[in-house]
Amino acid sequence: MPDKLLIASFVMLAAAGIQENTATVADGVYTDAQATRGAAAYEAECSGCHRPDLGGGTGPALKADRFARMFADKDLKTLFTKIATTMPRNAPASLGDNVYLDIVAHVLKENGFPAGSHELAADALDAIRVLPGRPKPPPPVGDFSYVEVIGCLTAAADHTWTLTSATEPVVTVPSAPTASATAKPLGTQTYHLIDALAYAPADHKGQKIYVRGLLIKLPDEQRLTISALEMVSATCRD
């Protein structure tokens, strides 16, 4: 019996870990260009039934409460399959997967979910979860906020290390990097990294790096304590 309990506990923990690592539609799973293409396809093929604003007509609404009731907490493939097999009404499954992916991107954008740096692809749909509503705006970033950033690890004077061409800080919690964080393009910020030597920075020089830690704002610079430092890419290029 104890062995069975241990096995059951392990399975539950593993399942929880898988759920935590699953991407969501708030993680920037499509691009603006893809959503723009999707808007044009939607206008031509779908707006007659669902209205240009996705508010619903002879077809159901594809946003707000109706969207949440139909698709929240399901994987994104459920939404894609529904659209790809039933639309347009007079010629279902006739537009091709790429066009349907573009339309899904448009629907996500109209529901308030952010764009990212990679286009939505068919093989990713199973691993992306639909959220029940519009994502909340990120909390304001103040002095001593716990944040995550992406940037280029660069050697500075006096054996110190900085994160250059870095993203704007985003308030986070102690956890694994989110998909949206690691997918962000580089930015214009610079952070002086405190205690970087504890992370063997010379091994990561010139790499694109994810850093999570405490933000300290000074009049002449921004500093980051480090609680996590992970390589995103071996080269510091988007």
Q: Provide the pLDDT for residue 132.
A: 87
pLDDT above 70 coverage of the chain, percent:
89
- 112 vs 116: CA distance, rounded Å: 13
| Strands (DSSP E) found in 110-160 | 128-129, 146-155
Instruction: For residue 93, give both structure tokens.
Output: 């499954």
When comparing pLDDT for 228 and 178, which is higher? Answer: 228
**Burial of 160 by CB count in 10 Å (0-12 exposed, 13-18 middle, 19+ buried)?**
middle
Instruction: For residue 64, give both structure tokens.
Output: 């707000």
> Domains in the chain and their CATH numbers?
21-129 (1.10.760.10), 146-233 (2.40.50)
H-helix segments, 52-205: 64-71, 76-86, 97-110, 179-183
Q: What is the mean pLDDT of the segment spanning 106-131?
A: 93
